[in-house]
Amino acid sequence: MRVLQVLPHLNIGGITTYVHTLAKYLLKKDIEVGVCSAGGNQEHRFKQLGIKTYRIPIKTKNELSPKVLASALKLSQIHKQFPYDLLHSHTRVTQVASQLASLFTRMPHIANFHGFYKKNKTRKIRKIIKAQGKYSIAITPLVKDDLISYFGANPKKIKTILSGIDLETLNQKTPPLQLKGNPVVGASGRLSPVKGFQYLIRSIPKVLEKYPEAKFYILGEGNYQNTLLGLADKLKVINNLVLLKRKSLSAFLNSLDIFCLPSLEEPLGLSVVEAQYLGIPPVVSKVDGLNLLVDHEKTGLKVPPANSLAIAEAIIKLKEDKALYQKISEESRKQVIDKFDIAKKIDNFIKVYEKAIKNTSS
């Protein structure tokens, strides 16, 4: 079986990591994998796996952009070089392009949904041009519910496969970064308001009252960087905050005492899962997919969204209560091994592929 994974770019990010991990374990099952995108700084990691990479002009966020049709035509041409049996797309624009390419090539299309879509006028177009493929894959039950309730998707054609992480890579024990602080508190993700990092920064003064040597690190890139730094300067905690970019997530996590993801909206949060596997207790907002990851005071601490005081109190609690810290460290790791090992999920993807191919050919 040959599968072409289609995504907008191969830069650092959650979907790039997801596809890389998926591709790695598909190869272990003798599935031939190609990857198609506009390119990016992580392309070499796919090539190191022996994966063929192809380019399409998909640099757009508009489903009606001419670039989407151009990408669909390019996907059809790629079929001659890499005769794929199935297209597996990972974002809304690549879903539309792949759906069109599926019509041109008569190859089945699987659409992977990684999050919630904003309810605006543009999304109304997707109710008409669903682009949900022969089957859809939702990364959580909440994402599946969103597809059904808003887009009117057929529940029988949506398969829920909880995202997983690559334990094999994490077991290689990447050397930690040399981060100073007591405690060392970290967060990672795209620098945007929805990630809630502004509330983490607002929690810093309260934590410093108790632990003046505390340091906070945020790993990520985005347009919100200057706003976050400006807030830290205004609160006079700029010397206790460091923004990092283009560092290994596992090396970063291995350097932390506490991980925090105070998102206002989060379909799942694989950075939390990686922290849990490495034994680093997480503090997360009580929202969406984060509720699937954290059982309060068992596999982490949950706080109300947009509540800086609650974040500070949770960080202080983990620092002071060593028994709780140890309990969360142990229980959260067990949960990851049981529920989020990608090696245990790969057969679920293959079953969806096989069913789509069978139903297309019959």
> Mean pLDDT throughout 73-90?
97
pLDDT of residue 14: 85
Which one, of 37, 76, 40, 41, lies nearest residue 57 by Cα?
Answer: 37
Give per-residue pLDDT as tens, 10-46. 987 889 999 999 999 999 999 999 999 999 989 999 9
Give per-residue pLDDT as tens, 153-173. 899 999 999 999 999 999 987
Domain with CATH 3.40.50.2000 in the chain: 2-164+342-361, 170-339
For residue 120, name the pLDDT band (cuts at 50, 70, 90). Answer: very low
Cα–Cα distances in angstroms (integers) from residue 263 to residues 14, 118, 208, 290, in the given order: 15, 16, 22, 9
CATH number, domain 2-164+342-361, options 3.30.930.10, 3.40.50.2000, 3.40.50.300, 1.20.120.530? 3.40.50.2000
Residue 338 has phi, psi (to 5 degrees) of -75, -40
110, β-bridge pairs: 88, 135
Concatenating the DSSP letter of every residue in 182-230 gives: SSEEEEES--SGGG-HHHHHHHHHHHHHH-TT-EEEEE--STTHHHHHH
Indicate yes or no: pTM above 0.75.
yes
CB neighbours of 283 closer than 8 A, spacing ≥ 6? 258, 259, 260, 261, 262, 300, 301, 302, 303, 311, 314, 315, 318
Q: What is the distance between the alpha carbons of residues 176 and 82, in angstroms, rounded to a whole number?
A: 40
For residue 115, name the pLDDT band (cuts at 50, 70, 90). Answer: confident
Q: What is the distance between the alpha carbons of residues 56 and 75, in angstroms, rounded to a whole number?
A: 7
Which one, of 221, 263, 215, lies nearest residue 237 by Cα?
Answer: 215
Q: Cα torsion for 138, 136, 114, 127, to the nearest 10°? A: -110
170-339 falls under which CATH superfamily? Glycogen Phosphorylase B; (3.40.50.2000)
Q: What is the distance between the alpha carbons of residues 221 and 119, in angstroms, rounded to a whole number?
A: 26
The pair of three-digit structure tokens given for residue 330, joined into one six-digit string: 């142990």
Give residue for tokens 């998909």: 58
- CB-CB contact of 260 with 284 (8 Å): yes
pLDDT of residue 121: 47
- Based on C-alpha coordinates, what's the Rg of the chain? 21
